[in-house]
A and B are shown apart, each in its own frame.
Chain A
Amino acid sequence: MKADMDNTFKIIYENESDAVFRFCLVRVSDREEALDITQETFLRLWKSLQDGQNILNSRAFLFTIARRLIIDWYRKKKSLSLDSMLEREGGYDISDDKTVEDSNFSLSEGRYLLSKINELDLSYRDPVYLRFVEGLSPPEIGEVLGISTGATSVRINRGLAELRRIAGYNNETKG
């Protein structure tokens, strides 16, 4: 029974840990903080499994927790220091040395796209990111954000149109 649970958890961790970490890193722009939040997210999944909770969609579950932890993190940070946050907002660097070491990509395209995604309206940002980067289905995103599938689809489409506009991809394809 416990071995089963361990295996289930390990499989989920293997498949989803990078996505969750990425999601956190993009939001908090701090590798250590992102690792902390990722760890806390999986710890909660682990405890839920131990309590015998039936988790139907582990992906949606993980992203829901991660998103809430990030919101909490921002609240705490705000109350701590407004100045340090203002300093941080200027330099937005998702990739530090470790990440670059791991990958063969320059990340220039990715960094540009991320910055544009982060420029999106708040209501479009998470749906667009989760849909196109992490490949979650609209129902899953709806579950994470606590909105209906229909509303999620609308936000994804409008968000994508907005992203194309601000990133200048629209003009290129037309021309």
Chain B
Amino acid sequence: MKDQKIQNGINEIKNIKMTALEKKQILEYILNSPQKSNKLIPSPWMNIFTFTVKKNRLVYYMVIPLVVVLTGSGAVFASGESLPDSMLYPIKVNIVEPMRGALKFSKESKANYESGLATKRMVEAEKLATEGKLDRVKEEQINILLQKHNKRLNEALDKIDQKESSEQVDEIVTDFQEKMNTHAKTLDVITLQKKEEKSKKNREKKIETDNNFNLDMKNPELETDVEGNVNEESTEEEGDEDEENKISKSARDNANNLGRKIKDKREDESRGRGRERD
């Protein structure tokens, strides 16, 4: 046999064994060994918060969304009354309002919502104008938003069934027109007042400087120079005035266009109906 000797050797090796006593001793030692737990020793620096978090994973799922919601809702809440010069204004305009808009499901409520937002923009412009903070950049910003709301309002109105809820559409359109026109008027009045205040101040200043010049050095050439400067300033102001009417102008335009559009649509429809009858 080829591997007989190896097999014999193996069999002999296999007879190396522990004695019964040794076997018993080891088994008893192991079974009676103190049960050491492999759990980590808690750090003395561990405070109550980490303790509760580690103990209960649910805390993660409760606390983190809560923190997010609280801080987030804080910003949302704070942004509610913000004006275009505020840090929170973009949050309000780009996040909060579109989100609220997305929650308006019927076409009517969507149209009402957009009309309300357009009014809000006008109120903001008025507030800024009263504070004298309505510069060209903010004006442009509000104007763009105004156009956006107008566009959405038009879209929403287009989708409303004119035949079934014509009264509602009328109401929305009239409401929108009324508000836009009123606020445009108010804005005009405010800007005009501001202009007058400004020009009054300028005039006072001019008189003062004129007097000073007249008192200090009686030189007729310089006088004309100063007048020339003043004239230039006043032309600039006129330019400003034209541009500051941008918001009220677009508000009026929007209101008029919407009214005209609805009217045209109705006429088209009635013509179509007439043809059908023929």
Contact = CB atoms under 8 A, between A and B. Distances in A.
Most chain A CB within 10 A, of B17, B33, B38, is at: B17
A26 B23 CA distance: 18
Interface residues of A, number: 44
B12 A46 contact: no
Interface stretch (B1-9, B107-115, B224-232, B243-251): B1-9
Contacts of A99: 15-17
Size bin of chain B's contact surface = 20 to 34
B217 interface: no
Q: Which of B8, B11, B26, B33 has the most CB of A within 10 A?
A: B26
Interface in B1-46: 2-3, 5-6, 8-19, 22-23, 26-27, 29-31, 33, 35-36, 38
A113 B4 CA distance: 12
A76 interface: no
B248 to A, nearest CB: 76
Given A51-B38, A110-B9, A132-B6, A21 B17 contact: yes
Contacts of A108: 12
A133 B12 contact: no
Contacts, number: 102
A95 interface: yes
A145 interface: no
A127 B31 CA distance: 31
A51 B36 CA distance: 9
Given A10-B27, A13-B27, A35-B26, A110 B12 contact: yes
A71 interface: no
A99 B18 CA distance: 7
Contacts of A114: 9, 13
B15 A109 contact: no
9 contacts: A17-B18, A18-B17, A21-B18, A22-B16, A47-B38, A50-B35, A110-B9, A110-B15, A114-B13
